[in-house]
Amino acid sequence: ITAYFNGTYIDPADLVVPIDERGHQFGDGVYEMIRVYNGTPFMLEEHIDRLYRSAHAIKLQIDPDRSALKNTMFELIQKSGLTNLDLYVQVTRGIAPRNHLFPNCPVSVSMTVKPFRTIQIGENGAGVTFYPDERWQNCYIKSLNLLPNILAKQSAHEDGYLEAILVRDGKVTEGTSSNVYMVKNSAIMTTPLSKQILSGITRMAVKDIALQAGIPFIEQQFTPDEMLQADEIFITSTTMEIMPIVRVREKVMNMGKAGAITSTLRGKFNELK
C-alpha cells in the first residue's frame, strides 16, 4: 500500500480518480513533497503550514483540523512499511462536473509514498543552465500547474543539465524545482522571498544553519553574469537537499568541486535530518 485517495488506502496503479476530478481537469489544487528520514517527516509543521498557505491563496478550504491530515500521512507511511521515503500530498477542489466556477463539494486529498535514494551526484556536484522564467505572478503558491517548470527542466535535461535556473527581468528567481544560491566572498546570496518564488522548506533550514554558523545570508537578487562570477553555487530542495553546482552552462565552477561553504552546509544539514 503506497497511496491514498479520499479515505481509502490503495495501490498507486489502482484506477480511482474520476474523470471529473478538478486536479485532473484543471490542475485546480496544491501540493507538498515531504521527505521522511528514518520514519520521521523532516520539518513537517513547516510543510503543513505551507500547504495551508497555498490552499488559502487559491481559496481552497482544507479541513482546519491539521491532526486529521497528519494522521492520514502517518497511517500511509506505516502501511507502506518504508522508513526512508518521499511523501507527496495533493489537495484539489474536488470532484464535480467540469465548470470553471468553484463547485460545492468536498476537496480531494491524495497521497503517495516512494522510497528515495540519495543522489550520488551530490558528492561531485551537477550542472545547470538558464531558462526564461515563463511562470505566472504567484509562484509562492505550490500549485499543481507546473507546465512552465516541466518544459524548462526537460529542456535543461536534454542539454545535459540537472536543473534550469529561471531568469525574470534579467535576474535569477529560482530553479524549476529548487531554490538557488551563490557564495561570494564567504557570504551566501539568494533571491529574497516574494510572490516570484516558492518559500522553500530547505531554504529555511539553510538560512538557520548559516545564521547559526555565522555565515552571512544575504537575501538579494543576482544576475546570471554575477552567478558565473561566484565562488560557489548550490541549489536546494526537499528531494535534492543541498546540491553543489559545479557547472553553469560551459563554465566549470570551483574546479569542478563542491565549495567549502556548500560542504559545511551539507554537513550541518545531515545532522538535522
Catalytic residues: 142
Looking at the Cβ atoms of 94 and 200, the one nearer to ligand PMP is: 200
Residue nearer to ligand PMP on the CB measure, 129 or 238:
238
Least distance to ligand PMP, CB of residue 239, Å: 7
Are residues 51 and 91 in contact, defined by beta-carbon separation less than 8 angstroms? yes
Q: How far is CA 22 from the centre of its chain?
A: 22
Q: Residue 95 or 238: which CB sits closer to ligand PMP? A: 238
Strands (E), 29-148: 29-37, 40-41, 85-92, 108-115, 126-132
Nearer to ligand PMP by Cβ, of 6 and 155: the residue is: 155
CA 166 to mean position of chain CA atoms: 14
What does the block give as the cell for 270? 545531515
Tell me which residues touch ligand PMP (CB under 6 A). Answer: 33, 174, 177-179, 198, 200-203, 236-238
- Please state, in angstroms and rounded to a whole number, the distance separating the CA atoms of residues 216 and 219: 10
Inter-residue contact 196 to 134 (CB < 8 Å) = no
Closest distance between ligand PMP and the C-beta of residue 103, in Å?
Answer: 27
